[in-house]
Structure 1
Amino acid sequence: MHSIRKILLATAFACTAPAFAATASAEELKAEVLHWWTSGGESAAVKVFADGFTDAGGEWIDTAIAGGQNARTAGINRIVGGNPPTAMQFNTGKQFDELVANGFLRSVEDVAAANNWRDALPPAIVKATNRDGQFYAVPVNIHGQNWLWYNTDVFSKAGLQPPKTFQDMIAAGPKLRESGFIPLAHGGQNWQDHLLFDAIVVAEAGQEIFAKVYGEVDTDAAKSPEFLKAVETFAALRGMTDEGSPGRNWNDATALVITGKAAMQLMGDWAKGEFIAAGLTPDKEYGCTVMPGGYVMGGDVFVFPKIDDAAQKTAQEKLAGLMLSPETQIAFNLKKGSVPVRLDIDVSAMDACAQTGVQTLKDPNNQVASINYIASPDLVGATRDVITQFWSTPSMTPEEFVEKFVSAMDSAS
């Protein structure tokens, strides 16, 4: 994420969204919610929030902007420019730190305390949404980032068992290709490259190396044999994609698996929302596997800009309480593909993949904080550029990549 200062310089305080928040009257209970959920499964999920707010007597004003970076930039511009939405989406972690530091966001500690959020949420989620001991964001889900999704019919036709490790994936590649399928559906965008790379690091280098590299910016960890092994596996997966991969959106890659053109995809569990929207059932038409090493936790939060209007403050508090109510948590995550951020609710009504995810998370040793939880936006951006350069440059050796990766760590520290 660009700093607030850079965003303002780049846009010259341009605020093109409708000036809703500043004009809300005291009699209105309206909420303009800015987010980036635009795919089929995502749209169905955010409608759960919208319907819940409407049922509570409010009016939901939906401001959807495709692409997380685009949405965050637009939202920050509006907040700093004095025309904030009622609520705005971020990923769980450090992306909204500058807004808190500069006094642009309100605390929702009163709502959190009244609803015992600290007792219901995993400690890593509490830490990721608290600043100076107060909640400044409402976490709405836990997204497992290291799920493997596969088409069961494709593997059956190829005479193969679905893989459980990255080495299994590599071994299956040639037979899948010979059988006429794309072995690995991948969207060649930098964040997707990074997601795949991090899943491999957790699985093959281990949680400790992963945490040292991103959380401690430990260059010795990035120079370790374990990290190099993960890089070599990442390189081996390049040949399993297709020519249409560069620039492909994640949900278009998921569609290749859904339609049986591709065998599998490594993607966060938001991909499950696309399978659900297509009417498919886990353990039947498609399968899901948490890759080794732990459950890499991503997720989404909503923050609430400081607004003087009393009606807007009421709308913010109502939204915050609604989003973490047990009923909404189940309904929303059923559509979104993620699992409830609350680990104190009954998930028996959820699908087999979700129940696997929740069961995995019950063990604290499986709770792996993703890069957005532990790394600065500068470090995420710098390493992401190097990862994508390596993915797109087959001639670059793993050793050369490690050298560039370490330089990127140094530049961001």
Structure 2
Amino acid sequence: MLKLMRSALAGAAMTCAFVSGAGAQEPLRAEVMHWWTSGGEAAAVKVFADAYTKAGGTWVDSAVAGGQNLRAAAINRIVGGNPPTSSQFNTGRQFDDLVGQGLLIDLDAVASENKWSDAIPGPIVEAASRDGKFYAVPVNIHGQNWMFFNAEAFKNAGIAEAPKTFDEFFAAMDKLKAAGLTPIAWGGQPWQEALVFDAVLLGQGGKELFFKVYRDKDAEAIQSDDFKRVAETFHRMRDYVDAGAPGRNWNDATAMVITGKAGVQIMGDWAKGDFIAAGMTPGEQAGCALVPGNNGYVMGGDVFVFPKLGDAPTQGQALLAKTMLDPEVQIAFNKVKGSIPVRTDVDTSSMDACAQEGAALVKDEANQVPSVNFLVSADTVGALQDTITSYFNDASATPEDFAANFADVMSAAD
């Protein structure tokens, strides 16, 4: 994706061509590009749309299925002179080149007025800022190391509670297999497999190893026995997925748990949105627990960037940014989306049990673990995903080979 961005940027000599057209837009008209197209996601984005309309704006919905597809489309429009009012990215470094080329407006005036830095966890503030200025509006915190399960399926298979260790986890998977279910609803796409690997890395390896690998790029840590044990645990999950896993979308894997065809899905908490849309209450019919180990909360999420339409945010951009971080809107949006509010100063007592657990964890800085997207470039993330998915899908691959390949990627990381 980043290579596509750089190619587009290189060919866009007229990067300011769109500024002259900004005045033709209605002041409070906001075309918003996003990839939220599943049932739960569509319901969530409607919360933003309704709130913006209530605030006096006109929301123009521009959805493109798939994060990579959406980002490519948004980048092409931004550099091609036809930018939207705002576009979704993941929290992290995906929009670095757009900032570096001066194509995004900084939102510091709006952020200062509304005291964003006082209400948002430090790692999220840092991920949404460049050179001390906000260039994106973070709208949620997605916990990426959740394990969701069908409570009835667990009960029928004789599993009394969510496993707290990996020994308990694999014992539970054996029980689900014996009951005739697919134990793990697996989305066989590189980004999903990398997400599961990171959850295992934190759960089994702990925060120290997680940070040594991704933040410090410590080659010795990557070649350590602890890292290889994590790799072995991750690879063992192959024994509990079905033949239809390759290429499966995350929401299709979620549907397997919803319908009782599978027992467990390791996924970010956006999956809760689909459980909610299916009438399953998170923490009840849809059980939830962090991946065994409980060594912290891997924080991902979504942000919205605002292409430069002038020297300062337009009225519509400023209103949209303010609306997205309004405390009441934050609660309403994240209730449906499955995530937790990016603001830690809001009352989450009306949210589901899983969200309340996540919000409580994030309030403690010791539990705040930034996702890999915060720590390395989008190019490196892509290379890591390729390495992880190649390892998982090769039955004969060894932890030693995987560690060597992983270390090669991290040695070139920026």
TM bucket, shorter chain: over 0.9
Q: Which amino acid aligns with 1:294?
A: G
Q: What's 1:295 paired with?
A: 297
Q: Which amino acid aligns with 1:305?
A: P
- Which of 375-384 and 179-188 deviates more? 375-384
| Partners of 1:3 and 1:98 within 8 A in 2 | no
Aligned to 1:382: 383
State which of 291, 305, 308 in structure 2 corresponds to 1:306: 308
User: In the alignment, which residue of structure 2 is the partner of 1:118?
Assistant: 117
1:223 aligns with 2:226: no
Residue 398 of structure 2 is aligned to residue 397 of structure 1: yes
Kindly indicate whether residue 189 of structure 2 is the aligned counterpart of residue 172 of structure 1.
no
| 1:129 corresponds to | 128
Partners of 1:334 and 1:20 lie apart in 2 by: 37
Question: 1:107 aligned to 2:106?
Answer: yes
TM-score, scaled relative to structure 2: 0.94
Distance 1:95 1:242 in 2: 32
On the 8 A contact 2:105/2:311 being kept in 1, the answer is no
Alignment partners' CA distance in 1, 2:315 and 2:3: 30
Residues 163, 392 of structure 1: alpha-carbon distance in 2 compared, 3 angstrom cutoff = same
Which residue is equivalent to 1:183?
Answer: 183
On the 8 A contact 1:21/1:32 being kept in 2, the answer is no
Q: 1:21 to 1:369 in 2, by over 3 A?
A: farther
Give 1:348's aligned amino acid. Answer: S
Preserved CA contact (<8 Å) 2:22 2:310? no
* Shift, 1:210, TM fit: 1.2
Partner of 2:41: 42
TM-score for the superposition, normalised by structure 1: 0.94
Identity of aligned residues (%): 56
What is residue 16 of structure 1 aligned with on the other side?
none
Show CA shifts across 1:350-371 (max 9, x none): 1111101111112111110100
Residue 272 of structure 2 aligns with an amino acid whose one-letter code is: K
**1:23-62 counterparts in 2 under 5 A?**
25=24, 27-62=26-61
Contact 1:130 1:136 in 2 (8 A): yes
Within 5 Å, give how 1:252-267 maps onto structure 2. Answer: 252-267=252-267
Q: Any stretches of 5+ residues in structure 1 without a counterpart?
A: 14-18
How far the C-alpha of 1:175 sits from its partner, in A, is 1.7
User: Residue 21 of structure 2 aligns with which residue?
Assistant: 22
The residue that corresponds to 2:238 in the other structure is 238
Aligned residues: 406
Q: What are the within-5 Å matches in structure 2 for residues 174-213 of structure 1?
A: 174-213=174-213
Partner letter of residue 388 of structure 2?
Answer: I
Shift of 1:216: 2.2
Structure 1 position 207, deviation (Å)? 1.1
Partner of 1:323: 324
| Cα pair 1:72 1:89 within 8 Å, conserved | yes
Give 1:155's aligned amino acid: F
User: Equivalent residue of 1:53, what SS?
Assistant: helix
User: 1:324-379 CA deviation, whole Å, 9 max, x = no partner?
Assistant: 01010000000100000000111111111110111111211111010011111122
Q: Deviations over 1:363-398 (max 9, x none)?
A: 111110100111111221111111000111011111
**Contact 1:7/1:73 (<8 A) preserved:** no
AA aligned opposite 2:248? R
Moved more, 19-28 or 226-235: 19-28
Structure 2 unpaired stretches of 5+: 13-17
Distance 2:7 2:388 in 1: 24
Structure 1 contact 20–32 (Cα < 8 Å) conserved? no
Q: Is the 8 A contact 2:296 2:368 kept in 1?
A: yes
**Which amino acid counterpart does residue 78 of structure 2 have in structure 1?**
I
